Amino acid sequence: MGNSQRTPGIAPGRLPAGQIAANFTDLHPPLDAHEAAVAADRCYFCHDAPCMTACPTSIDIPLFIREIQTGQPAAAARTIFTQNILGGMCARVCPTETLCEEACVRETAEGKPVEIGRLQRFATDTLMEKGDHPFTRLGSTGKKVAVVGAGPAGLSCAHRLAMLGHDVSIYEAKPRPGGLNEYGIAAYKTPGGFAQAEVDWLLKIGGITIQTGALGLGITLDSLADQYDATFLAIGLAGVNALGAPGEDSAEAATGFIAALRQAEDLSALPVGRNVVVIGGGMTAIDAAVQSRLLGADSVTLAYRRGQEAMGASAFEQELATAKGVRLMFNLRPVALHDGEIELEYTSVADGRVTGTGETIRLPADQVFKAIGQTLEAPEGLDLEKGKIKVTGRGRTSRKGVWAGGDCASGGDDLTVTAVAEGRDAAMDIHAALMG
């Protein structure tokens, strides 16, 4: 993890192991059957369903809540999985407060929405814990499709293609499939190894194999075109943007910290600074900051170059951070990293442009994380748009026979639920193309 091995201020075991374990328990405990029934009773079952319109995967929310209300959680799960095969993970990590629950009529009228996310988790967990898979494959089409990347978009695309009778090979560079769900989300949002359990459950559809590989590591678009009838790229964003400040080599990528934390068998052995500063304003920045506090950092500051209203992290995530003891500071950008300190310059924003004011402050910092966005390692021969693979329609790239979705593709928000929708829709377009 970056400089953690050479900086005295970064050390493991800042809290007792039992306290750390307690800190990383489920952020939102699951509903029991009675609680789910009570929560479902609050739904108005609106015929125009603004919550459904706000869902990127267009889950029929009133229907699945009605099914829970009538004691049919397995049927509710099937309704969810029909639109979103990763509905179990999305129930845990979706920013429902800015999507379906923000659009809920109860939220508009009372300021307290129906707990759609927790109801979705109740339904999906009920079915998945039985080990059941709600779908079966159609007869084989004889077509083969390559999916590069086993993240949410890739898994969603692979499942839908397999269900339609195609044979799918997923190429994944990392030791475990799951992508962002396995390596990039705060541990307290998905405890208990849920990400891998969900992948194992998804693969029960059959017709999907996962093998080690990545573009540029013995695999090219040309080689895939020779072996497969179509290719779907779900390669995510592997690069990390630079701070552009002297001393930057002592900073760590927040994504690397989160990945190490997610794969750690013993969190009490994971080193963390006494004084931590996170640069950024999105969900990754919040996750890194909060988890630093949960590991025992004395002081954690999140510094963002614009005002609070411009932060990518939702109001809920910001409130969570402050509740855990993270200090949020705004209109600040790093200008230099010193030994044990970070120097920040105050900024002003005019016409959308950030400029420095010349006034600086220094904060103690034995560990600095950068969470200022990621970049695409672009495949050769594909048109790009704003640094991502340019796609039209349901994920079609500029190369015939190649589709793309998820964070690597243009358009859409960088959310798990959006990636799932893009993978699903690309699969349907691939199927239509292959079957004429």
CATH label of the domain that carries residue 118: 1.10.1060.10
CA 158/CA 120 separation, integer angstroms? 22
Boundary-marking domain end, from 373, 392, 407: 373
Is 80 exceeded by the pLDDT of residue 5? no
Domain assignment present for 187: yes
The per-residue pLDDT for 123 is: 98
Domain-located, residue 27: no
Task: Indicate whether 182 and 252 sit together in one domain.
Answer: no
First to last CA, the chain: 49
222 and 99 co-located in one domain? no
Domain boundary at 100, 129, 158, which? Answer: 129
C-alpha to C-alpha distance for 376 and 388, rounded to whole angstroms: 6
Residue ending a domain, among 320, 341, 373, is 373
Within a domain: 204: yes
Residues 234 and 244 both lie in one domain: no
The pLDDT value recorded for residue 422 is: 98
pLDDT category at 6 given cuts 50, 70, 90 is: very low
More confident residue, 132 or 65: 65
pLDDT at 81 exceeding the cut of 80: yes
Residues 254 and 369 grouped into a single domain: yes
Residues 362 and 387 in one domain: no
Q: Is residue 178 part of a domain?
A: yes
- The answer to whether residues 161 and 431 touch, using CB atoms and an 8 Å cutoff, is yes
Tell whether 412 and 343 lie within a shared domain: no
Mark whether 270 and 214 lie in a shared domain.
no
- Is residue 16 one of the residues assigned to a domain? no
Specify if 23 maps to a domain: no
Are 232 and 257 members of one domain? no
* Cα distance between residue 19 and residue 407, in whole Å: 35
Q: Residue 2 above 60 pLDDT?
A: no
**How confident is the model at residue 1, as a pLDDT?**
47
Q: Which of 284, 234, 242 is nearest to 261 (CA)?
A: 284
- pLDDT beyond 60 at 310: yes
Assign residue 341 the CATH number of its domain: 3.50.50.60
% of the chain residues with pLDDT over 70: 98
- pLDDT confidence bin for 227, thresholds 50/70/90: very high
Give the separation between CA 315 and CA 307, rounded to whole angstroms.
13
Long-range CB pairs of 11-18 (<8 Å, 24+ gap) are: 11/271, 11/272, 11/274, 12/268, 12/269, 12/270, 12/271, 12/272, 13/268, 13/269, 13/296, 14/272, 14/274, 14/295, 14/296, 14/297, 14/298, 15/268, 15/295, 15/296, 16/268, 17/266, 17/267, 17/268
**pLDDT for residue 373 is more than 70:** yes
- Rounded to an integer, the average pLDDT of 131-146 is 96
Which whole number is the average pLDDT over 381-397?
96
Listed range (2-11, 28-37, 51-60, 250-259) with the worst mean pLDDT: 2-11
* Shared-domain flag, residues 366 and 428: no
State the burial class of residue 421 (Cβ atoms within 10 Å of its Cβ: 0-12, 13-18, 19+). buried
Does residue 5 fall inside a structural domain?
no
- How many domains are contained in the chain? 3
Do residue 262 and residue 366 come from a single domain?
yes
Phi and psi for 97 in degrees, rounded to 5? -65, -20
Residues 198, 128: Cα–Cα separation, whole Å:
8
Identify whether residues 182 and 258 lie together within a single domain: no
- Would the pLDDT of 215 be above 60? yes
Q: What is the domain range of residue 201? A: 144-238+376-435
Establish if 137 belongs to a structural domain.
Answer: no
Average pLDDT of span 328-347: 97
On whether both 272 and 185 belong to a single domain, the answer is no
Q: What is the mean pLDDT of the chain?
A: 95
Distances (CA, A) of 117 to 24, 93, 342: 20, 9, 39
